[in-house]
Structure 1
Amino acid sequence: MKNTFDAIVIGAGHNGLTCACFLARAGLKVLTLDQYHTVGGMATTEEITLPGFKSDLHAFGYQFANLSPVPQELNLSAYGFDLIWPDINYSHVFPDGGIISMHRSLEDTVQSIGHYSKRDGETWRRLAEQFVQQKDQIAAWMNSPPATLAAANVQRSQMPHGMDEYRFELQSLRSWTNEVFEAEETRLFIGALACHASIGPDDAGGAHLAWLFASLVQILGNRVVRGGMHNLPLALAEYLRSKGGQIRTGARVNKIVLKDDHAVAVRLSDGEEIAVSQLVVSNTDPRQVVVDFLGEEQLGSDLIQRMQRYEWGDAYFVIYLALDGPLTYRAGNDAARSAYVHPTPPTLGYLSRIYTECRAGMLPAAPMILMCNDSAIDPDRAPANKAVMKLIALNVPYEIRGDATGKIPGVTWDAVKEAYADHLIELITNTYVPNLRDRILKRVVHSPVDMERVFPSAVRGTITHGAFLPYQSGSLRPLPELGQYRTPVPNVYLCGSGSHPGGGISMAPGRNAAQVILGDLKGA
């Protein structure tokens, strides 16, 4: 078997492509493989409903990537990558028609919060300014391999308020928002962003994530990739090819082949083996690498067992919509101009009930729904005078054990998904968007099971390669033995969202893994 490639990257999602780009830029001959029909993974854009209606299948907002140096380092604008910064990043709407909006202008956001609490508005100004002061430090944390737990503890102990910071990192959303905000509406406005990572109001770590997410969006924007999120991985793919890298789609890996405890090839599901001379790096979820690609024979039963208890988080449920024109929100036009809309009652108790129902295996009666106004921000994604959007229920069970709606029989997603979609559309139409139901030209529904069928790394219908939990973060993500992008096999690496800093569009795991790999090659 002839060694053809220096490096093989498994998975052409945005992190896999980012890693491949830096390896190719360093002079390695790189092949990237993906089981899907195109590159991008969960950062793809497709006409899933009707021709001319371009839906981002999963990722829509470009947030943490605002802190990434990758677009500049790889000159991605030369390959068609461009961003739109909305005037309104997101809005939270309430059943009575009330609204708070995160405007591009901090002053406008302060005023919007001030309709419910002027004190909360000034508190938000202070919190956003705190992010500005810490932005460079946060970017360095995100775009570097994680410090070891021991090193992080030493660093924290040397900070003037290190123990306060440690408390904040572990604090729940409810605890923190009750401390700093007086209006329940403000608590929901800031706190609902933690739900994007399946963190409930009483989960550890929710406070820090909500502050970080909301502050980053306030200062740097909930930007959108012009023409669809797919244009980010497409730009990375073009850069990779410009450096001699190759990409094969429709090629699913089922084994990493070892010889003398080193990877020497990858085997595809059709039996083809592709030789590699230096290294293999995987952008898939960490379970596939540990359990499927390497396995107990290579890694031992202890690591396999601990990988099997890795926590994935709550599942997602998506409704893609082609609409016969823009929507009219009960809360007014600012909601229609927002990249995201969060529609909920103004209580943290509402969020608690959702997570209780979801984690008990129940179909939540009124899940937290993220409304993505794709074409309101990027009109070219839909035909003239039409609209495209998606609704994401952020907290549903993967395995159904009951029904909190009281009207949907069945315990398999294939049996209940359309009825559940009917229920959610009815809920939004009756409470928040009166013309939603009548505007729908076509819808396509993806249950958690559908998501996993399309993208195997969407394990149990999740999209972050593992739950955001204190014991699955930093150098502990996904497991301590794998927390520096390395595996026990010396030339097999991880570069996906199952590694620091985690899920979402950031390009950080891919870039960080490339730093580690190139450092190892230099020191070899």
Structure 2
Amino acid sequence: MSHPYDAIVIGAGHNGLTCACYLARAGLKVLVLEQYHTVGGMTITEEETLPGFWSDLHASGYQLANLSPVPHELGLLDRYELIEPEIPFSHAFPEGDIISVHRDIERTVGDIARYSRKDAETWRALMNRFLAQKDAITASMFSPPPSFPAAAADFAASSAGMEAYRFSMQSVRSWANQTLEAETTKTLFGSFTTFLGASPDDAGGAELGWLFASVLQNAGNNLVKGGMNRVTLALAEHLQAHGGEIRTNVRVEKILGDAKRATAVRLTSGEEIPVGQLVVSNVDPGHLVLDLLGAGMVGQQIVRKMEQYERGDSVFVMFVALDSPINYKAGSAARQSAHVHLTEPSLDFFARVYLQCRGGALPSAPMIVSWNDSAIDQSRAPAGKALMKFVVLSVPYVITGDATGRVPGRTWDE
């Protein structure tokens, strides 16, 4: 029996479209289904505030993509322009102090040396460590993960392996107190870890902070001119050039089939679309398991585990259209940075945020990340105006209280 499509991809975010592109390049007839009016998912750019002010609604920085083979293999870099700020990132403190990570490591080292010469040389050593491991790290990012027994055997094979295992499990507080001396430098790494969703005392936070800081120092924190949706539009063009199809404004209601394979998808309109080989999901795993698949396809045990799944911390975002660019208390380096972390100079600051957040309370003083959208990319706002995005980290997914006692609302709609 012939089918109109070999593969159906649910969700036209950048991951779903990337998968669809590779399937189409392999010769499969691919259909991508998207409930929104345009492709993009987490990489959507829209006029969220006022006409002419183009905000990235979710993802903003082009960071790990700098290490990915995908843009090169799919020829995407000819379809959009990257802006490469000389200062990928800064951390600004309440009294006006600032540490900036520059593309030039000597300038980064100079910034850190104002607070600790020892920490400045430690940063240089950490970057050399990253550069020595960069090829292996990059390869591991874009390869299937090893089995647990294989990974454990590699760690146990040498003393260096055991030290690597310790580092992979170490909290950023433990590692920072062991490695650094200035509170400002410790906070710098703590903010990287918080940015990735880990508190100073969570296992594995040290390695996360080191990797993210190293990537920004080495590969930059680029912005896509015009907005992140240029990336997904490029992916969509590549897919269509290889025979793939995209339908927007359609919502998948159910994946049809049995425990062995999917045979079709049913839309909320009632239309059923048969598929020959596979259905790929680029949607929330809870929605996938509980709504699209159900116990009949994946079994009651998996459904029960998904029902018990604990959601992690969330973020709150504000988009701000301004009459003119802002002036940071920390000076011009903050304004020239792709984004700026704004916190007190203390790991205890992050610990307090997570203690309050994970108890369900809106934090009394959360970490704020400011994105200098139009300062870096003038095409994002009308001439003479400014556009910024403020990301508030971390906040509870389900609100049970407010740490200050001033906010009565208990849902994000209030």
Same-fold status (TM-score > 0.5): yes
What TM-score bracket applies, with the shorter chain setting the length? over 0.9
Q: Which SS does the other structure have where 1:59 is aligned?
A: coil
Q: Which SS does the other structure have where 2:370 is aligned?
A: strand
2:272 is the alignment partner of 1:269: no
Q: Report the CA distance shift for 1:81/1:158 in structure 2 as closer, same or farther (over 3 A).
A: farther
The question of whether the paired residues in 1 share the 8 Å contact of 2:399 and 2:410 is answered with: yes
Give the match for residue 57 of structure 2. Answer: 57
Taking the aligned partners of 1:149 and 1:67, their CA distance within structure 2 comes to 25
Taking the aligned partners of 2:190 and 2:353, their CA distance within structure 1 comes to 14
Q: Which amino acid aligns with 2:3?
A: N
Give the match for residue 139 of structure 1. Answer: 138
The question of whether the paired residues in 2 share the 8 Å contact of 1:89 and 1:103 is answered with: yes
The question of whether the paired residues in 1 share the 8 Å contact of 2:62 and 2:223 is answered with: yes
Identity of aligned residues (%): 57
What is the CA distance between 1:297 and its match in structure 2?
1.7
Taking the aligned partners of 2:35 and 2:411, their CA distance within structure 1 comes to 26
Give the match for residue 361 of structure 1. Answer: 360
Taking the aligned partners of 1:406 and 1:330, their CA distance within structure 2 comes to 29
Taking the aligned partners of 2:190 and 2:408, their CA distance within structure 1 comes to 32
Taking the aligned partners of 1:259 and 1:88, their CA distance within structure 2 comes to 52
Superposed CA offset, 1:261-294 (max 9, x none): 3211011122211110111111112222222221
- Listed as ranges, the matches of 1:152-167 within 5 Å are 152-167=151-166
Give the match for residue 205 of structure 2. Answer: 206
Q: Report the CA distance shift for 1:37/1:309 in structure 2 as closer, same or farther (over 3 A).
A: same
2:395 is the alignment partner of 1:396: yes
Higher mean displacement: 283-292 or 195-204: 283-292
2:121 is the alignment partner of 1:122: yes
Taking the aligned partners of 1:16 and 1:295, their CA distance within structure 2 comes to 21
Q: Which amino acid aligns with 1:306?
A: K
Q: Which SS does the other structure have where 1:277 is aligned?
A: coil
- Listed as ranges, the matches of 1:158-177 within 5 Å are 158-177=157-176
Q: Which runs of 5+ in 2 are unaligned?
A: none
Q: Which amino acid aligns with 2:362?
A: L
Give the match for residue 21 of structure 1. Answer: 21
Give the match for residue 340 of structure 2. Answer: 341
- Listed as ranges, the matches of 1:185-334 within 5 Å are 185-259=184-258, 261-334=260-333
Give the match for residue 96 of structure 1. Answer: 95
Superposed CA offset, 1:486-505 (max 9, x none): xxxxxxxxxxxxxxxxxxxx
- Listed as ranges, the matches of 1:347-496 within 5 Å are 347-415=346-414
Runs of 4+ in 1 over 6 A off after TM superposition: none
Q: Which amino acid aligns with 1:378?
A: D
Taking the aligned partners of 2:70 and 2:412, their CA distance within structure 1 comes to 39
Taking the aligned partners of 1:339 and 1:204, their CA distance within structure 2 comes to 28
Q: Report the CA distance shift for 1:21/1:346 in structure 2 as closer, same or farther (over 3 A).
A: same
Give the match for residue 11 of structure 2. Answer: 11
Q: Which SS does the other structure have where 1:91 is aligned?
A: strand
Taking the aligned partners of 1:311 and 1:129, their CA distance within structure 2 comes to 38
What is the CA distance between 1:158 and its match in structure 2?
2.7
The question of whether the paired residues in 2 share the 8 Å contact of 1:114 and 1:120 is answered with: yes
The question of whether the paired residues in 2 share the 8 Å contact of 1:3 and 1:275 is answered with: yes
The question of whether the paired residues in 2 share the 8 Å contact of 1:264 and 1:276 is answered with: yes
The question of whether the paired residues in 1 share the 8 Å contact of 2:258 and 2:297 is answered with: no
Taking the aligned partners of 2:400 and 2:288, their CA distance within structure 1 comes to 30
Superposed CA offset, 1:270-328 (max 9, x none): 22111101111111122222222211122221111222333331011110011111110
Q: Report the CA distance shift for 1:105/1:302 in structure 2 as closer, same or farther (over 3 A).
A: same
Taking the aligned partners of 2:253 and 2:187, their CA distance within structure 1 comes to 43
What is the CA distance between 1:228 and its match in structure 2?
0.5
- Listed as ranges, the matches of 1:24-39 within 5 Å are 24-39=24-39
Q: Which amino acid aligns with 1:280?
A: V
Higher mean displacement: 133-142 or 405-414: 405-414
- Listed as ranges, the matches of 1:50-89 within 5 Å are 50-78=50-78, 80-89=79-88
Q: Which amino acid aligns with 1:128?
A: M
What is the CA distance between 1:159 and its match in structure 2?
4.7
Taking the aligned partners of 2:296 and 2:387, their CA distance within structure 1 comes to 48
Q: Which SS does the other structure have where 1:400 is aligned?
A: coil
The question of whether the paired residues in 2 share the 8 Å contact of 1:2 and 1:275 is answered with: no
Superposed CA offset, 1:223-281 (max 9, x none): 11111111111100000000000001111112111057321101112221111011111
What value does the CA root-mean-square deviation take over the aligned residues?
A: 1.3
Q: Which amino acid aligns with 2:71?
A: P
Q: Report the CA distance shift for 1:111/1:401 in structure 2 as closer, same or farther (over 3 A).
A: same
What is the CA distance between 1:2 and its match in structure 2?
6.4
Give the match for residue 40 of structure 2. Answer: 40
TM-score by length of 1: 0.77
What is the CA distance between 1:85 and its match in structure 2?
1.1
Superposed CA offset, 1:420-456 (max 9, x none): xxxxxxxxxxxxxxxxxxxxxxxxxxxxxxxxxxxxx
Q: Which SS does the other structure have where 1:265 is aligned?
A: strand
Taking the aligned partners of 1:259 and 1:307, their CA distance within structure 2 comes to 19
Taking the aligned partners of 1:172 and 1:62, their CA distance within structure 2 comes to 26
Taking the aligned partners of 2:211 and 2:310, their CA distance within structure 1 comes to 22
Q: Which SS does the other structure have where 1:247 is aligned?
A: strand
What is the CA distance between 1:216 and its match in structure 2?
0.7
